[in-house]
Amino acid sequence: MLSRFLPGVLLAPIIFTILVGNVVLWGGVIFVIGLLKIVLPLQIIRDILHIAYAAWCKGNYLGVWLACDNWQVDIEGELDEKAWYLLIANHQSWLDIMVLSGLGRLPAPKFFLKDELKWVPFVGAGAWAMDMPFMKRVSKAKVAKNPKLKGMDVERTKRACRHFRLNPTTIINFVEGSRYTEAKHQKQRSPFKYLLKPKAGGIAFALEVLGEKMDGLLNTSIVYHGTSETICKDMLFGKLTKIHVDIKVQPISAELIGNYQHDREFRVEFQQKLNVIWQDKDLQISLMQENEQLPTIKPAHSS
């Protein structure tokens, strides 16, 4: 680990260069193969695309590992690299994406992304090539004026999920819809200590399309330990002392699969079940923090 030998002022540009270079290199390669996939929609092209994507994931791991080699990954249950999973996790920082993609144990981790990210160089192009859905938030006022706006995200999600049928995939959804901050927590009046309120739509649509093909739910919690209250700063300057990831492999109940958009009774029941999962996750994160002797970075001020 470089942080053992280099001061933070030298470590930060090295880690930053590795992570950005990894995105530029493999994002460009993936985009080019994605264009080729349009011309030649063959399975072998998709396989090559996933090989390049796996290389990007390994680059993410290398970049973060050089800053912090103390990773504790607890997995309850069995993972199969040839399976299809839905992973739900808490969201504290953009580093969450690097950590989950870099675990090396998940079949092709793919993310639900904010619509704004499609304009980020290499990131947006690479995500497009991998058929990841971009989620565009629309205010209730705009939806009231034009109900079709709400349906756009639904169709975009369903279309992306259909593509995921072709290769073993882990669909990753940060259910809170945004990174945790104290300001957001207070504005929502969230009933959870470490979490924002969960948003059910994305995972409900994914289950509606792929539910029968899904081999399990990966209920995942991430906690960072460091010397300050800023996750990314600690990572770049070698002050991140531990990354703790807890994954529980759980079956997907048939009760979680239904028409979320049009069946009001199912929608209410689904939201209630998700709230129970979120209550358990809040407790799990609390235990992960309180049982750790190292200083823990509070999500309330994370980047």
Assess if residue 189 is contained within a domain. yes
Assess if residue 13 is contained within a domain. no
Assess if residue 1 is contained within a domain. no
pLDDT of residue 297: 45
- Direct distance between the N- and C-terminal alpha carbons of the chain, in angstroms, rounded to an integer: 23
Q: Return d(Cα 56, Cα 50) in angstroms, integer.
A: 10
Assess if residue 238 is contained within a domain. yes
Assess if residue 8 is contained within a domain. no
Q: Return d(Cα 268, Cα 130) in angstroms, integer.
A: 32
Number of Cβ atoms within 10 Å of the Cβ of 46:
18
Number of Cβ atoms within 10 Å of the Cβ of 293:
7
pLDDT of residue 116: 85
Domain that holds residue 208: 70-301
pLDDT of residue 9: 78
Burial of 139 (0-12, 13-18, 19+ CB in 10 A): exposed
CATH number of residue 198's parent domain: 3.40.1130
- Give the chain's domain count: 1
Assess if residue 137 is contained within a domain. yes
Q: DSSP string spanning the chain?
A: -GGGTS-HHHHHHHHHHHHHHHHHHHHHHHHHHHHHHHHS--HHHHHHHHHHHHHHHHHHHHHHHHH---EEEEEES---TTS-EEEEE----THHHHHHHHSS-SSSEEE-EEGGGGGSTTHHHHHHHTTPPEE----HHHHHH-THHHHHHHHHHHHHHHHGGGS--EEEEETTSS---HHHHHHHT-SSSS-PPP--HHHHHHHHHHTTT--EEEEEEEEEEESSS-HHHHHHTT-EEEEEEEEEEE---GGG-S-TTT-HHHHHHHHHHHHHHHHHHHHHHHHHHHT--S----GGG--
pLDDT of residue 119: 87
Block mean pLDDT (10 aa), the chain, length 303: 69 91 96 94 92 95 91 93 94 94 93 85 91 72 64 69 84 92 93 94 86 91 86 88 94 90 92 95 91 47 41
Assess if residue 5 is contained within a domain. no
Q: Return d(Cα 80, Cα 97) in angstroms, integer.
A: 20
pLDDT of residue 163: 78
For the chain, state the CA radius of gyration: 19
pLDDT of residue 294: 41
pLDDT of residue 165: 83
Assess if residue 41 is contained within a domain. no
